[in-house]
């Protein structure tokens, strides 16, 4: 049974949204990935959102470009946390339309919003939400955060030893 649902408005969004699934898999969290369009398949979106909890989902990550209604519409139909990923699509106005569509939700229908094309952070945030109640996930997240710290320290050491010109 999947703990996180990753949905997107069209298959072209998979290039961005796939990174959320990759981080979740790295952290040992099961996820399902599918296409659910708010505008082209509203009944599918409704069914997905309404049955998410009973299917075992704990968090939904919803990515969309353009008008980007998917995250907000899904959030209006479930009490699960929804993380919105604005996607810069071919019909987008530099992604700002997607960012603002997801970010500017009315009171009572919150959507956590990550950066434009920020599906990786959406995956990590979903893991943190689950990790708040699952000690095993929290332990894996701590190891992940330590690995980020170590990468920075390794980079600093290399630049300091080899000089900045040799480190570019």
Q: Is 10 annotated as a binding residue?
A: yes
Q: Element (H or E) spanning 5, and its range?
A: strand 4-8
Return the residue matching tokens 């500017």: 104
If phi > 0 it is left, if psi is from -120 to 50 it is alpha, else beta; for residue 83 that is beta
C-alpha distance across the termini of the chain, in Å:
45
| Residues contacting 58, CB < 8 A, separation 6+ | 3, 4, 80, 81, 129, 130
Q: Is 89 annotated as a binding residue?
A: no
| Residues contacting 76, CB < 8 A, separation 6+ | 109
Q: Is 12 annotated as a binding residue?
A: no
Smallest CA-to-CA distance from 78 within 61, 95, 92 is with 61
Residue ranges for the known binding site are 10, 13, 40
Residue ranges for the known binding site for substrate are 10, 13, 40
């Amino acid at each position: 049974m999947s703990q996180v649902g990753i949905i997107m408005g069209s298959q072209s969004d998979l290039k961005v949204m796939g990174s959320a699934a990759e981080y979740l898999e790295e952290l040992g969290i099961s996820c399902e990935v599918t296409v659910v369009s708010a505008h082209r398949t509203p009944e599918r979106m409704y069914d997905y959102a309404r049955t998410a909890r009973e299917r075992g989902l704990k968090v939904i990550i919803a990515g969309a470009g353009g008008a980007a209604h998917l995250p907000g519409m899904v959030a209006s139909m479930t009490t699960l946390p929804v993380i919105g990923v604005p996607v810069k699509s071919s019909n987008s106005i530099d992604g700002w339309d997607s960012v603002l569509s997801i970010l500017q939700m009315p009171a009572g229908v919150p959507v956590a919003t990550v950066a434009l094309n920020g599906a990786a952070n959406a995956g990590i945030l979903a893991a943190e939400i689950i990790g708040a109640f699952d000690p095993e996930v929290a332990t894996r997240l701590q190891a992940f955060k330590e690995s980020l710290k170590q990468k920075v320290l390794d980079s600093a050491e290399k630049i300091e030893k080899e000089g900045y010109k040799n480190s570019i």
